[in-house]
């Protein structure tokens, strides 16, 4: 999200002390929420400024572009949202609030302008854990976030990153246990208000030391910040990112907004809205033999990668579950793919409802392929025997046999 020239930098020594768990002051140097926070977690503390180059090309393997903005992007005047849309941007996050009192004066204008230009749009909040009041802070956010249950409003996002003012403790003066408890209370309150998990924006170098490597938030969609040519390592608890903020933006340059990519298709992006659009059927083609996964025998036989083309037996609907997992429903019989026998038996489309055996984690591999990990046993689905045997969730790691290409069917 947009940048701001900072009046002071957080010292590198302070950042290292926070990462190592050195005790930090209980009170921040600036007790107010003045709107200075913006999503800029992809650079290390002690090296943050507004003059960041955004010349990076869109990362390989991603096609859906987005931006995020705050009041700092109005340094040079209003944002030309039709021009943003014409450049190929499909989604935007707009800063709404910070702490318990700050409301971005341009939020409503940008929110409406982005939607009018045809973008799908979400609101974000810059978290202030130093206030130690997560419930009221979450309520203030949702009260002002203009959340709507329509197909153009993205789930809200909370920005959890470095403090931005001079002398601030790296982790806001909270211990890892206190930080995790604050985040849990905030995210739970947002979900209680809107019925959807809030997206978490952060950086691994902040999250892991400040939460003590808390891995319990993986059901929340992740926006990972990292201004690198390849996606940065993910924080504890996540196996894939939903959004990657890959370039920082510079509000001193016209139209130079922070740059994001969505990890998936546009149809999948719409699943993050208040009124998700029905997902189109998909097909999976095994890397090991180039054949499509089929619900053989109209779903009465185990799944096998033997379909030469995409027919009815090769079509599935991907279901995004509220806990962050996914399920596959075979179009041929309307049943869910199950890791039968707790993963000891071949996969078969015979589940009448979604239970633990029918839940998987979708892994987006760096080479553009996808893999499925069964939640019941933590093993990866493999096209055994180079695709001559039924699929089974038995692989401890991802190799060629565990990779699939996905197609809209």
Residues near 51 by beta carbon (within 8 Å), at least 6 away in sequence: 5, 250, 252
159 is annotated as an active-site residue = yes
Question: In a 3-state reduction of DSSP, which class is residue 97?
Answer: strand
The residue from 68, 98, 314, 331 that is catalytic is: 68
Question: In a 3-state reduction of DSSP, which class is residue 313?
Answer: helix
The residue from 98, 159, 223, 314 that is catalytic is: 159
| Dist CA 17 CA 29 (whole Å) | 17
Q: Are strands 380-382 and 336-338 parallel, antiparallel or unpaired?
A: unpaired
Q: What are the beta bridge partners of residue 126?
A: 98, 159
Which residue matches tokens 């995004």?
320
Helix (H) / strand (E) containing 183: helix 176-194
| Inter-CA distances, 283 with 160, 291, 353, Å | 36, 10, 21
73 is annotated as an active-site residue = no
68 is annotated as an active-site residue = yes
What is the DSSP secondary-structure string of 203-226?
A: -HHHHHHHHTS--TTTTS-EEEE-
| Dist CA 260 CA 281 (whole Å) | 26
The residue from 110, 161, 241, 340 that is catalytic is: 161
For residue 158, give both structure tokens. 């909370």
The set of catalytic residues is 68, 159, 161
């Amino acid at each position: 999200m947009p940048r701001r020239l900072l009046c002071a930098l957080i010292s590198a020594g302070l950042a290292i002390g926070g990462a190592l768990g050195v005790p930090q002051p209980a009170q921040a140097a600036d007790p107010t929420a003045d709107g200075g926070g913006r999503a800029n977690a992809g650079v290390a503390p002690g090296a943050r400024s507004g003059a960041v180059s955004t010349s990076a090309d869109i990362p390989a393997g991603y096609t859906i572009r987005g931006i995020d903005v705050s009041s700092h992007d109005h340094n040079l005047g209003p944002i030309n949202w039709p021009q943003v849309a014409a450049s190929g941007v499909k989604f935007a996050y707009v800063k709404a609030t910070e702490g318990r009192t700050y409301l971005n004066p341009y939020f409503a204008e940008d929110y409406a302008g982005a939607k009018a230009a045809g973008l799908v749009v979400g609101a974000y909040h810059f978290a202030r854990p130093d206030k130690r009041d997560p419930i009221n802070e979450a309520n203030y956010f949702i009260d002002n976030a203009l959340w709507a249950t329509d197909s153009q409003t993205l789930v809200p996002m909370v920005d959890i990153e470095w403090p931005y003012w001079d002398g601030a403790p790296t982790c806001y003066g909270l211990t890892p246990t206190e930080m995790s408890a604050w985040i849990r209370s905030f995210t739970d309150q947002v979900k209680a208000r809107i019925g959807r998990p809030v997206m978490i924006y952060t950086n691994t170098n902040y999250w892991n030391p400040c939460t003590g490597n808390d891995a319990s938030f993986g059901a929340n969609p992740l926006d990972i910040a990292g201004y690198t040519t390849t996606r940065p390592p993910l924080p504890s608890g996540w196996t894939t990112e939903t959004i990657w903020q890959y370039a920082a933006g510079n509000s001193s340059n016209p139209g130079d907004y922070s740059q994001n990519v969505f990890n998936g298709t546009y149809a999948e992006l719409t699943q993050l809205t208040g009124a998700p659009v029905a997902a189109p059927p998909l097909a999976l083609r095994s890397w090991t033999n180039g054949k499509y996964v089929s619900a053989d025998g109209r779903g009465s036989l185990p799944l096998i990668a033997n379909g030469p083309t995409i027919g009815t037996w090769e079509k599935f609907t991907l279901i995004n579950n509220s806990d962050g997992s996914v399920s596959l429903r075979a179009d041929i019989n309307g049943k869910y793919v199950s890791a039968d026998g707790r993963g000891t038996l071949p996969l078969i489309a015979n589940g009448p409802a979604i239970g633990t055996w029918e839940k998987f984690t979708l892994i987006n591999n760096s080479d553009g392929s996808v893999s499925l990990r069964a939640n019941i046993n933590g093993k990866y689905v493999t096209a055994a025997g180079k695709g001559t045997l039924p699929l089974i969730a038995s692989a401890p790691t991802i190799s060629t046999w565990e990779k699939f290409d996905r197609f809209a069917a």
